[in-house]
Amino acid sequence: MKNYFLWRNRVLITGALLLLISTHLLWSGVHSGQRVAKPRRLVMAALAPVQTAAARLTDGGAGIIHDYLDLVGVQRDNTRLRAELAHAETQRARLAELEVENLHLSDLLELKQALALKSIAANVIGADASGLARTLLLEGGSDQGFEAGMAVLSTAGVVGKLIAVGPSSSRVLLINDHNSALDAFDQRSRVRGIVAGVVDDGLVMKYVDRSEDVKPGDTIVTSGVDGIFPRGLLVGEVTAVVREGPGLFLTVSVAPAADFRRVEQVLIVTQRIPQPPPAEPKG
């Protein structure tokens, strides 16, 4: 009778057990960081080639597909000429793409030289699978020397930090994700705060005292004291400062300098960041 009950409810029992395991994953993830992430690296390694192929297809191959779709239904005599034209167009588009990529890489090289820290360039091959969280997928992982916690930069400014690293792919938590936070200061007034992501796609600078001097248009840069981001990197620009309302702190809205939806190549800082002198920024 007991076995009969188990057999008849085996799907629900299996599902309930798996729910318990996923709750354990959640609990462990919340309280121990990367402790339960090892199997995830295996999944990332397994799916990385598919992901890279998909990114290549959407970035480079979409032109080829469109060109060849246009040829459907064309008379046989024109097929060869049209195919040649499509090929030439694709080549032209590819060359233009390479030129843009070359420009981006030149900019990254300049940034790399200006940083004077060991860093490696990586291509962005995907975004967050859920669409609502803010992460990016990079081509390159532990085989290239990447580690969780490393800073990710673009030529426009700070992008985020690595949160999961597989052998050949890794994921970046963008600075505008609600779980992200970095130590930064106002370049003009030297007021320090914590820049964090907010749900509606911007950034806020937290823990800035109401008496401090922060104005719209001020530039926010990294302080370097968090040991992740080098000091003085552009984070964004102050767009609004709200002094009204209760509370000890100002509400400082910041527009990120980097356009996270358009970033294609990034720089991973693989060297430990030297700690800056602690006294200069106030706040």
Partner 1 sequence: MAALFAVLTLLALAIQTTASRWLPLSALVPDLVLVLAVDLGLRHRRALAPIMAFAMGYAMDSFSGSQLGVNTFVVTLTYLVAYEAGTHTSATGPEAGAVLAFIAVLIQSLGGFLISTQFRAPNQLGALLPAALLQATVTAVLAPPVFALVARCKRMLGLSQPRRGRGWASRGA
Are 202 and 256 contacting, i.e. CB atoms less than 8 angstroms apart?
A: yes
Q: Which is nearer to partner 1, 9 or 275 (CB)?
A: 9
Residue 221's SS3 state is strand
What token pair was written down for 112? 């790399």
| Closer by beta carbon to partner 1, 83 or else 127 | 127
Q: In whole angstroms, what separates CA 198 from the centre of its chain?
A: 15
Find out whether 258 and 160 touch, Cβ atoms under 8 Å.
Answer: no
240 makes contact with partner 1 (CB under 8 A): no
The DSSP code for 213 is: -
Q: What is the largest CA-CA distance in the chain?
A: 78
CB closer to partner 1, 190 vs 206: 206
Nearer to partner 1, 185 or 229 (CB): 229
Q: Give the C-alpha separation, 194 to 175, whole Å.
A: 11
Amino acid at 218: D
Chosen residue from 164, 165, 195, 225 binding partner 1 by CB under 8 A: 164
Three-state SS at 268: strand
d(CA 176, CA 185): 17
Among 122, 140, 175, 177, binds partner 1 (CB under 8 A): 177
Residue 15's identity, in one-letter code, is G
* Contact positions with partner 1 (CB under 8 A) in 37-76: 37, 39-40, 43-44, 47, 50-51, 53-55, 58
Q: Which of 30, 72, 248, 279 binds partner 1 (CB under 8 A)?
A: 30
Give Cα separations from 87 to 53, 58, 62, 66, 158 (angstroms). Answer: 21, 17, 13, 11, 38
Q: Which is nearer to partner 1, 44 or 158 (CB)?
A: 44
Give the number of other CB atoms < 10 A from CB of residue 129: 10
Q: How far apart are the first and last CA of the chain?
A: 70
> Taking CB under 8 A as the criterion, which residues in 193-212 touch partner 1?
198-200
Using CB under 8 A, pick the residue from 151, 173, 184, 208 that binds partner 1.
173
Binding mask 102-141 for partner 1 (x = CB under 8 A): -----------------------xxxxxxxxx-x-x----
Using CB under 8 A as the binding criterion, the count of chain residues that bind partner 1 stands at: 56
**Residue (137 or 184) nearer to partner 1, CB:** 137
Q: Which stretch binds partner 1 (CB under 8 A): 6-14, 75-83, 140-148, 226-234?
A: 6-14
Binding residues (CB under 8 A) for partner 1: these are: 7-12, 14-16, 18-19, 21-30, 36-37, 39-40, 43-44, 47, 50-51, 53-55, 58, 125-133, 135, 137, 163-164, 171, 173, 177-179, 198-200, 261
